[in-house]
Amino acid sequence: MSKPIELRPDETFVVNVGPQHPATHGVLRVKMRMDGEYIVEAETVIGYIHRMHEKMGELKTYPQFLMNLSRMDYLGAMGYCHGHVLCVEKAAGIEVPERAEYIRVIMVELNRIASHLFWFGAFVMDLGGFSPLMYALQDREYILDMMESVTGSRLTYCYFRFGGLYNDIDDEFIAAARRFIPRMRKSMAKYEKLVTGNVIFRKRLEGNAFLSKEVCRKYGASSAVARGSGINFDVRKNEPYSVYPEFNFDIPVFHECDSLARYNVRMAEIEQSLRIVEQALDKLPDGPIMPAKAPKIIKPNAGDYYQAVETARGSFGVRLVSDGGKTPYRLKLRSPTYSNMHLFDETCTGMMIMDALAFMGSLDLVIPEIDR
Amino acid sequence: MIAETTKKALQALFPEPAAAVEEIPASPETEEADKAPKKEAGPRPNGVIERDYAVHGYHLDAQVAVDQLIDAVNIVDQNEFFIETITGVDWIKEGEFEVIYDFSRYDFEVCRVVIRTRVPRDNPQVPTITGIYAGANWHERETHDFFGIKFEGHPHLIPLLLPEDADFHPLRKDFKP
């Protein structure tokens, strides 16, 4: 007969979370050395779906690379496309018509709402509540239908072109967007009642995973991770690009530094995005969506260029090194979740494993975007 | 304001020739003029250059020698910048790798600082900055994966994005897939 296993009091063991685990939302693996239920040490292992987008960027011409960007982050693809086209337009000196820039902002903000909705549903599901995901997906579906009618795809858009857009929006889209705004506000009130005010939910997240400002700075965190730690940082306000200075919106900042603060930031951001869409629809100018003389072959001037944008997941940066040729000499994609995920190892040390998984959910991970 | 302070602090790293370096970017503002001296001057001397933000998307561009890197990053850290990213560029014709460090700020005084350093291609070694910015860890591992640049003193320099047994460096220009 075999003896029962006895653990010595100081003995630790290793738990692998992932690479196939529902809580990691993709192929992410965290090697955790455990002391009972407490994490002694964690090491995140990434790269399971690494596709070397940066090498593809060097091999393909600029227009050929357009569609790669939306494959990076399948939930908030528009923001990434926006950063890329803005960087190349800056480098090649291409003027963008005002109407195109307005439509871009509308699309990016709608996509941000869709991304936050999905995160909201998935996050609450991580914590054990299933039904909010269904409500969130219902609202998100509305956005995806709207965007499909214009862009032709539901997730991996290839809608932006250098200098403008592939397709103009029609009255039907505008009407649908106007109908969507009050509908979404109503839903937000529902989520407030259903989830945000829920005592169990709040107790679970309050004080969970304290992230100081200093840790955020050392790791380069952005998005709700930084803003939930009292850092008033949003590229749309700090480094205004596109037509964002024309809109009136706030950056929600919470100072509690815990998972609930990160949750609150994202929920408040949905309302701000709605405000931007509302104003953009009101102000939408007439005119062309592509410049009259859009260059067929893109050849930026030699030099290096950097462009940062605020995507749903944080500050996304494109560093383009050009030698004046048809393909980039080097194209670096700085993905925000890469930095946000990096601080997980340090922060989760000493936490209980279930709290660490709640913390992981609050980071809003999209793995293809980390691995690139 | 912060751009000035940081610039002065970074310039202190280059005791004598800094004044000479500065004359190159002083006059050119337009794009043509900006790239013209680059091509003719050949390898760029070390020093701090103020860039036109509207054109390049960053404010300060400091090229430092490898042994000055830690000092330069320390200055950036003391001025409360956060680390944006680290990356490399393979300048195969010149036989050099360039390692680029991007820094930015959380407050409303927009200032992006780029610190770059060049190492020979046959023996690429750069000191690690993980002691200053803990978040540099993954960025340095990624740069090691893609270019084979060794970060001396890095605590855990094993493949991050590439497979664990990878012995190739895909972003080198002589890499054949």
On whether any CB of chain B is under 8 Å from the CB of A255, the answer is no
- Average pLDDT estimate for A112-126: 90
Place of tokens 């001037």: A301
Task: Work out the pLDDT band at A181, boundaries 50, 70, 90.
Answer: very high
CB-CB under 8 Å, B160 with A217? no
The per-residue pLDDT for A182 is 92
Closest CA to A372 of A155, A12, A80, A107: A80
Distance from CA of A235 to the nearest CA of B (A): 9
A204 has a chain B CB within 8 A of its CB: no
3-state secondary structure of A302: coil
| Contact with chain A for residue B96, Cβ under 8 A | no
CB pairs under 8 A between A and B: 114
A7 pLDDT band, cuts 50/70/90, is: low
The C-alpha of B8 sits at a distance from chain A's nearest C-alpha, in angstroms, of 22
pLDDT in tens, B117-149: 989 888 888 999 888 888 888 999 999 988 889
First and final C-alpha spacing in chain B? 47
Q: What Cα–Cα distance (Å) separates residue A98 from each residue in A274, B46, B70, B174? A: 20, 41, 44, 42
**Quick count: other Cβ atoms within 10 Å of Cβ A328?**
27
- Of chain A, the percentage scoring pLDDT greater than 90 comes to 16
Residue B16 is predicted with a pLDDT of: 58
pLDDT exceeds cutoff 60 at B30: no
Residue A317 parent element (H or E): strand A314-322
Query: What is the token pair recorded at A132?
Result: 């909010």
pTM across the whole model: 0.86
Helices (H) and strands (E) in chain A, counts: 15, 10
Question: Above pLDDT 70, what percent of chain A?
Answer: 98
Delineate the domains of chain A, giving CATH numbers in brackets: 52-338 (1.10.645.10)
Residue A114 pLDDT: 92
Contact B84 A220 (CB under 8 A): yes
Instruction: Determine contact: A315 vs chain B, CB below 8 A.
Output: yes
User: Confidence band (pLDDT; 50, 70, 90) for B40?
Assistant: very low
Q: Sketch out chain B's domains with CATH numbers.
A: 2-20+45-152 (3.30.460.80)
**pLDDT-above-70 percentage for chain B:** 83
B159 has pLDDT over 80: yes
pLDDT digits (tens, 9 = 90+) for A193-234: 888 888 888 888 888 888 888 888 889 888 888 898 888 888
- Residue A113: what pLDDT? 92
pLDDT at residue B27 tops 60: no
pLDDT surpasses 80 at B10: no
Interface predicted TM-score (ipTM) of this complex, two decimals: 0.85
Q: What is the per-residue pLDDT across A283-335, written as a single tens digit (0 to 9) for each?
A: 888 888 888 887 778 888 888 888 889 998 888 999 988 888 888 898 899 99
Contacts of B114 in chain A (CB under 8 A): 306
In tens, the pLDDT along A53-93 reads 888 888 888 888 988 888 888 888 888 989 999 988 888 88
Q: Which residue does chain B place closest to A89, by CA atoms?
A: B55
